[in-house]
Structure 1
Amino acid sequence: GRPFPRSPLTATREYVEVIRQVLARQAPVELAGRFHSHPYDGPDATGLGKPLKPITHPLRASLPVLLGAEGPKNIAQTVEIADGWLPLYWSPLRTDVYGASLAGLRDGFMIAPMARAHVCDDVAEGLWPVKAMLGFYIGGMGHAARNFHADLMARMGFEEEARRIQELFLQGRKEEAVRAVPDAFADEISLIGPRARIAERLELWRTGPVTDLLVTAPDPHTLRVLAELNG
């Protein structure tokens, strides 16, 4: 229901500036931005608006701002203006995919990918929910000619597979689209299998620039195992 900005980098930068002003609460929020104006002064404005200071007192004025960014330029800007980055897909085996975008990485910057974890004996079965998620995001999110998730998978070395998933999903062959997701890709971005296998793969995540891991897990046992491995 909103127009997609032709300059998404500028829109994001302005948005972050507004959030930082709100959190600081040191003065009324003012921004004469291209996409965000406070107070609003657009063509249908009343002219009565005035800068306002938030009533709510944040628990932390220095609350970190983390952005979910996928495109190379968006990631590079995130490193510049935010306190952390939330990667959608992170493979510890393909960190070079983000190399140029992370060139300006500074101390204290958080990299917090989300990964599904599941302690189980059957790796293929454990990967099925990951493949189902990927099949939907890569096949069904966006448009056939404009799907940021599919573009990311392509940059990670699976371009042919990404386009095949899109093709199947858009034809209504959703189960086939899920089956077309390569096990290798689903496995790289998750922590699935017996405890010993997860422990071994967790070490790969520790060797790179990741600072935090946001885990989704289907059961308390998996969370307990991860807590013990991270102890």
Structure 2
Amino acid sequence: MTAERRGVALTPMEIRRDVIVRMATLADELGYEIFSVAEGWGLDSTVLLAEIATVTRRIKLMAGVLSVWGRTPGTIAMTAATLHQICDGRFVLGLGASTRQLVQGWHAARFARPAGRLRQVTENVRALLAGERARPAVVPEARPLRLGQPPVANLPIWLAATGERTIRVAAELADGWFPLYLRRDRCRELAAEIRRLRAAAGRQDEPITVAAGPFTIVDPDIGAARAAAAACTAFYLAAMGEVYPRLVSAQGLGEQVELVRAVNPAAGREPGIVPDAAQVLLDEFTAYGDAAGVREQLRRWDSVADITMVAVPPGMAWPKIEATLRAAAPGPAGRVPEVDPVEADRAVALLPDGGVAG
């Protein structure tokens, strides 16, 4: 796989719109290949990507990812084609089956047969983008319509998939694979399986892009960097439902997951804790420390993924964000400002309603 291809990925919990736009412009300047904006229950990623498109020039922009339960295939196709125009062809559509908690608790939909839903929506969106008519399965007597703008048959569709059934959907239908919380060895295994399934489906000549990477924090104060990595990890394992704990546990880390859940009540609002006995969780799923140390940790992912995604934890102060993006950027590293932790903390205190510290 090609080294030093890097992207930036945000979580749904990052809702500081001005900070996100500033991150995107910096990532564009630094040579990152793709900038992924997540969507959960906060910001509408498609609207935000339209804003980012107006202030960036080169970087690809990804909806990473849209829930296949939150919009109809027609709405997804219409949005994707519109963003394709706004981005001058730089848009990448990410789709995922989401989680039971989000589908039922936010979208008020029944969470059933998620892999089947992912397949159906992906196939329908792909057909609509290619200029085909909609498939009105619920009301078969309805007159099917076409997308009312020029088709975009080659618009890239990346799928978030980690389960056996969704992996098969990604292998057969996706242009890119965008997993979260897979150990590097497991990521290699599943990438190989995806390519095997792809060949069996007759698509061996169409490469699939593997985009994966760790939550990343640069701070010369190693203790502070670890604390930030731990807080993000604990949140995903203790407060985001059962999908991530189950996924991580299935990779041989069940004991460590239970340690984290035991010391982080789901309803808590304090910064999360990862006990020393569960350090392997941070080693596998995060990269933290000073700039040189983080660059070395990211190189481990360069041999796993086509594009190493630098996942930025939510809520970090701008000086730490900038240091992280500069340290993790592709190419020579010589412009990396170290972060003074005192100044970074002061910057957080000065942020007006989540604004960017100057």
The residue aligned with 1:191 is 287
Confirm or deny that 1:20 pairs with 2:126. yes
Partners of 1:18 and 1:85 in 2: CA distance: 19
Partners of 1:77 and 1:120 in 2: CA distance: 39
Partners of 2:271 and 2:256 in 1: CA distance: 12
Query: Relative contact order (C-alpha < 8 Å, sep 6+): which is higher?
Result: 2
Structure 1 residues 159 and 174, CA gap change in structure 2 (3 angstroms): farther
Written as runs of structure 1 = structure 2, the 5 A alignment for 1:1-231 is 1-5=108-112, 7-25=113-131, 27-30=132-135, 38=136, 40-41=138-139, 47=141, 49-57=142-150, 60-92=152-184, 94-95=186-187, 98=190, 101-102=193-194, 104=196, 106=204, 108-142=207-241, 147-170=242-265, 172=267, 175=270, 178-180=273-275, 182-208=278-304, 210-217=305-312, 218-229=320-331
Partners of 1:108 and 1:99 in 2: CA distance: 11
Deviations 1:176-210 (A, max 9, x none): 863348333123222212232223222211222x1
Partners of 2:210 and 2:225 in 1: CA distance: 25
Structure 1 residues 193 and 78, CA gap change in structure 2 (3 angstroms): same
**Which amino acid counterpart does residue 113 of structure 1 have in structure 2?**
A
Structure 1 residues 86 and 150, CA gap change in structure 2 (3 angstroms): same
- Stretches of structure 1 lacking an aligned partner (at least 5 in a row): 31-37
- Stretches of structure 2 lacking an aligned partner (at least 5 in a row): 1-107, 199-203, 313-319, 334-358
Partners of 1:156 and 1:174 in 2: CA distance: 28
Partners of 1:91 and 1:229 in 2: CA distance: 25
The CA deviation at 1:136 is 2.0
The CA deviation at 1:160 is 1.5
RMSD between aligned alpha carbons? 2.9
**Which amino acid counterpart does residue 72 of structure 1 have in structure 2?**
E
**Which amino acid counterpart does residue 219 of structure 1 have in structure 2?**
I
Partners of 2:322 and 2:266 in 1: CA distance: 38
Number of residue pairs matched by the alignment: 211
The CA deviation at 1:93 is 5.2
Structure 1 residues 73 and 180, CA gap change in structure 2 (3 angstroms): farther
The CA deviation at 1:150 is 0.5
Deviations 1:145-199 (A, max 9, x none): xx11101111222101223433454574565863348333123222212232223
Deviations 1:97-122 (A, max 9, x none): 64774462656211112533222223
1:97–1:155 contact (8 Å) kept in structure 2? no
Identity over aligned residues, as a percent? 24
Deviations 1:71-100 (A, max 9, x none): 233223312221111111243355466477
Partners of 1:102 and 1:15 in 2: CA distance: 20
The residue aligned with 1:35 is none
**Structure 2 residue matching 1:219: 3-state secondary structure:** helix
1:66–1:82 contact (8 Å) kept in structure 2? yes
Please, what TM-score do these two structures have when normalized by structure 1?
A: 0.76
**Structure 2 residue matching 1:111: 3-state secondary structure:** strand
**Structure 1 residue matching 2:216: 3-state secondary structure:** strand
Partners of 1:136 and 1:203 in 2: CA distance: 26
2:214–2:286 contact (8 Å) kept in structure 1? yes
**Which amino acid counterpart does residue 153 of structure 1 have in structure 2?**
V
The CA deviation at 1:129 is 2.6
Please, what TM-score do these two structures have when normalized by structure 2?
A: 0.51
Task: Point out the more displaced range, 117-126 or 165-174.
Answer: 165-174
